[in-house]
Amino acid sequence: MIERQVYLDNNATTPLLPEVLQAMMPLLTEHFGNPSSAHGWGRRVRVLVDEARRNVATLIGARPSTVLFTSGGTEADNLALRGVAALRPGTHIVTTAIEHHAVLEGAKALEHEGLVRLSVVPVGADGVVSAEAIVDALEPDTGLVSVMLANNETGALQPVAQIAAACRRRQILMHTDAVQAAGKHPIDVEQLGVDLLSISAHKIGGPKGVGALYLRPGLKLNPLHHGGNQERGLRPGTENTAGIVGFGAAAQLAKANLDEECLRLKSLRDGFERELLRRVDGVRVNGPQEGRVPNTSSLTIRDVEAEALLLMLDMEGIAISAGSACTTGAMAPSHVLTAMGLSADEAHHTVRLAWGRSNGETDVDYVLDRMVSAIDDLRLLAAAR
Ligand code: PLP
């Protein structure tokens, strides 16, 4: 009998917050109008979409007119990369080895199609790219640099502001994938100095299938699709109105609770890591000690297969992940961990715990108990083999 349920995979996705569901419901019922329609049904929805745009903009310190709604983080990343590449044919793009597949595969596809040249910059053992390494990779025809703000597997924060300043001096555009930073770290597009920034609703208690791309005022971009004039023609198609309004509600809550929630998550996560390291030997925390988003633990555990630990904890009602959600199921070692210098074997002994809104102090004790005993059991089994 499972005693309780503890969801610790909040970097893969988060549960929809009740306030968000409440905000979305009218859009799925009486407010079904098309926001482009001139009549009352349409205008009422337009007002709600505009309000959501203001809330999402406020979360990232931007003006509402700079926020374009997309179908998620993946589309925002692809729109940024492909949109710039189409305007600057043959340009050189610089990115890092630890980006999410949405950026890395998106950039590789552009290179494969002969549209850009690509440089992928390695990271240090702590999973952080140095600004110097990015600057060293710049070439006279570099048109775009894309470096994520926080990594999804380790939580490592990257020196985006420093890199953006170097890009600006050289008139190079700077994109950051801030999908994993939103709601866990303050974001201000002006302080960061970026030209493009991606975020996604379902990582902050909003619905899946909606995200946004920030586009610095005056910046031109080529759309991925052609159609109507929605989202200034850069993302045509009738808006996902319920999703957008849910995103707005989630962004408003994330902004209002940011400081308090960051402190709370950090205390849960750090307390858990301290106690696990005290009780179990052969555990290493990956990523920088400081300079991580406050909810993420990447742990390499000696003699413990990540998949086996995941399954054992799943039977206890605890959800963790082995590598990022997008690569789970494929047994290839995580590209993020191998980029940090972990061997394939170490990567297969690495799990990620990502704390979130629904977790509390009592979860720490429960997860510690179950995890320590699962590790003991798996080590006994490994020793008996
Ligand atoms: N970028 C990062 C860093 C992510 O962690 C994710 C999701 O895992 C994405 C982009 C993709 O976002 P979405 O699921 O909204 O397409």
User: What CATH number is attached to the domain comprising 277?
Assistant: 3.90.1150.10
Task: Determine what percent of the chain is predicted with pLDDT higher than 90.
Answer: 94
Rounded to the nearest 5°, which phi and psi values hold at 365?
-65, -45
pLDDT for position 148:
98
Residue 268: is its pLDDT beyond 90? yes
pLDDT at 179 over 80: yes
pLDDT of residue 222 exceeding 60, the answer is yes
Cα separation, 164 vs 122, in Å, equals: 18
Give the mean pLDDT of the chain: 96
* Per-residue model confidence (pLDDT) at position 331: 72
279 has pLDDT over 50: yes
**What gap in Å lies between CA 62 and CA 88, rounded to an integer?**
25
99 lines ligand 1 (CB under 6 A): no
Taking the C-alpha atoms of residue 202 and residue 247, their distance in angstroms, rounded to an integer, is 8
Indicate whether 121 pLDDT > 80.
Answer: yes
Task: Give me the pLDDT at residue 329, please.
Answer: 52
Q: Is the pLDDT at 181 greater than 60, yes or no? A: yes
My answer on whether 156 and 288 are in the same domain is no
Domain co-membership, 182 together with 308 = no
Q: Going by CA atoms, what residue is nearest to atom 5 of ligand 1?
A: 152
pLDDT band at 323 (very low <50, low <70, confident <90, very high): low
Nearest atom in ligand 1 to the alpha carbon of residue 201 is 15
Q: Is 72 in the pocket of ligand 1 (CB under 6 A)?
A: yes
Query: Is the minimum distance from the CB of 10 to ligand 1 under 6 angstroms?
Result: no
pLDDT at 2: 66
- The total number of structural domains in the chain stands at 2
Segment 142-163, tens digit of pLDDT: 999 999 999 999 999 999 999 9
Of 232, 256, 280, the one marking the end of a domain is 256
- Percent of the chain scoring above 70 in pLDDT: 97
Ligand 1 atom with the smallest distance to the CA of 148 is 3
Instruction: Look at residue 326 and tell me whether its pLDDT is greater than 90.
Output: no
Within this chain, do residues 346 and 245 fall inside the same structural domain, yes or no? Answer: no
| Residue 289 confidence (pLDDT) | 85
Can you say how many angstroms the Cα of residue 127 is from the centroid of all Cα atoms in its chain?
15
Q: List the one residue out of 340, 385, 319 whose CA is nearest residue 124.
A: 340
For the cut 70, the answer to whether the pLDDT of residue 96 exceeds it is yes
- Whole-number Å distance, alpha carbon 294 to ligand 1 midpoint, is 18
Q: Do 209 and 65 have their domain in common?
A: yes
pLDDT of residue 176 exceeding 60, the answer is yes
Q: Which residues of 333-353 are buried (b: 16+ CB within 10 A; e: fewer)?
A: bbbbbbbbebeeebbbbbbbb
Q: What is the pLDDT of residue 281?
A: 97
Is 328's pLDDT higher than 60? no
Q: Is 146:175 a contact under the CB 8 Å cutoff? A: yes
Residue 167 sits in a domain of what CATH number?
3.40.640.10
> Which residues form the domain of 375?
6-15+258-384
Using a 6 Å cutoff on CB, does residue 175 contact ligand 1?
A: no
pLDDT at 324 over 60: no
- Is 1 inside any structural domain? no
**What whole-number distance in Å separates Cα of residue 22 and Cα of residue 100?**
31
Do 238 and 267 reside in the same domain of the chain? no
Separation of CA 239 and ligand 1 centre (Å): 20
Contact, 100 vs 241, CB < 8 A? no
Residues 295 and 175 occupy one common structural domain? no
Q: Which atom from ligand 1 is nearest to the alpha carbon of 152?
A: 5
Say how many C-beta atoms besides its own lie within 10 A of residue 70's C-beta: 25
- Probe ligand 1: pick from 71, 95, 100, 160, max atoms within 8 Å of CB? 100
Cβ pair 223, 232 in contact under 8 A? no
Q: Domain end: 237, 256, 275, which one? A: 256
Q: For the chain, how far is it from start to end, CA to CA, in angstroms? A: 29
Among 179, 187, 293, the mutation site with the greatest number of ligand 1 atoms within 8 A of its Cβ is 179
Asked whether residue 249 falls in the same domain as residue 265, the answer is no
pLDDT-based confidence at residue 385 (cuts at 50, 70, 90)? confident
pTM of the complete model: 0.96
Confidence bin at 384 (pLDDT 50/70/90): confident
- What is the torsional sign of CA 75, 338, 145, 128? positive
Residues 160 and 274 in one domain: no
Tokens 């962004």 found at? 251
Tokens standing for residue 237: 């198609």
In a shared domain, residues 61 and 201: yes
d(CA 353, CA 276): 12
C-alpha closest to that of 238 among 10, 29, 46, 14 = 46
pLDDT at residue 1, rounded to an integer: 62
Q: Which residues are catalytic?
A: 326
